Amino acid sequence: MVEGEEVTQEYVRFTGADLELEGILHWRNGETPFPAVAACHPHPLYGGDMDNNVVLAICEDLAKASIAALRFNFRGVGRSQGDHSDGVGEQEDVAAALAFLGSSGRVDPNKIGLAGYSFGARVSLPVALQNDKVQAIALVSPFLTETDWQRLRDCITPRLLLCGSDDDRVSCHEVRRLAGPLVKPSQCEIIAGADHLWWGYEGQVSRRVATFFKAVFQVW
């Protein structure tokens, strides 16, 4: 456990689908229970893990905003058990992370959200749409299929979509176009100058995500 003036980080292990997964839980020192968000990392076959620059920045800013945040390694990554499952088994990992947060005495089980970056957005979205415990969704560089976008059209869960103007893997123009018809409450923002990796723009994306969840969870 590492403690600072405001934020504590705790290494945790939790079980889902007969696999044990590892994660880091961030929270601000103070009165509990907190709202909480599970943050999902980018594609593990391309180097994605829970220490990713975007995921880490999001968790740090959420914790500073008095929202507990869990970043975790998908199956087969780091010291999480199992093997990569092409996004199918990883959805079970997301569900396990949500269940872990919901069972924590530090967390308000009625104020739980999901944040996903790239591959993390793709595997977290189906879980969020099927889990009524998820009160808000933030999708960063949303690497979504046409079916995903169709499912989003009727979703009434508050959503935030963020994309960089210079993203060479997820077209910001397509994101803006496809997000247009989504029913409210839905927000879509394009951050000028940022590419898919968000190097140098981590603070902008993490602050925007934290502001979104603060508003949804009414954390002032």
Count helices and strands (H / E) in the chain: 6, 9
Range of the domain at 169: 2-217
Cis, bond preceding 35 (omega within 30 deg of 0)? no
pLDDT for the residue 1: 45
- Report residues of the chain scoring pLDDT below 50: 1-4
Helix H or strand E segment including 11 = strand 7-16
How many domains does the structure of the chain reveal? 1
Distance of alpha carbon 81 from alpha carbon 99, whole angstroms: 18
* pLDDT of the residue at 143: 92
pLDDT attached to residue 30: 81
Q: Which CATH number does the domain housing residue 137 bear?
A: 3.40.50.1820
Q: What is the mean pLDDT of the chain?
A: 94
Going by C-beta distance under 8 Å and a sequence separation of 6 or more, which residues neighbour residue 6? 28, 29, 63, 64
CA–CA–CA angle 113, 143, 126 (5° rounding): 45
Quote the pLDDT of residue 29. Answer: 86
